[in-house]
Amino acid sequence: MKSLKYIVLFVALLGFTQNESLAQCGGSYSTSGNEIPCGDDDFPCCAVYNACNGSRYASGGCHNYDPDYSATGGCDLSCAPIDNGVLFLLLGGGLFGGFMIKRRRETELLPISAK
């Protein structure tokens, strides 16, 4: 069980660090030729700072409006980190489930008269 904790910790750290180091634009984002550069009134640039084609990666020429991601306002959100509230719910649910499993195992070991 100790090694499982270390494996989970390593995978979590790897997941948190890979967003910055994957590409010059951010994540696996690559231009396909149909991107609209900043300055067009009909198609505003991506407004999400952490998006793969957001203003954080403007120096790499990636800050644009991408019609492939029109549902998210032209932003490729695969580089954006997970929301803290969602992360809190995921970790809290996992901990709660783990405690319930542990509690169930402990009650199975008790004699019938103690239940």
Beta pairing, strands 64-65 & 36-37? antiparallel
Alpha-helix residue ranges (DSSP H) falling in the chain: 2-21, 84-109
Integer angstrom CA distances of residue 24 from 3, 50, 103: 35, 13, 48
- Please give the residue that has the higher pLDDT: either 115 or 95: 95
What's the pTM?
Answer: 0.49
- Please give the residue that has the higher pLDDT: either 60 or 43: 43
Letter for the amino acid at 85?
Answer: G
Give tens-digit pLDDT for 44-95: 888 888 888 888 777 677 888 888 888 888 888 887 777 677 778 888 888 8
Give the rounded percent of residues in the chain with a pLDDT score beyond 70.
Answer: 76
Alpha-carbon distance of 63 to 55, in angstroms, equals: 5
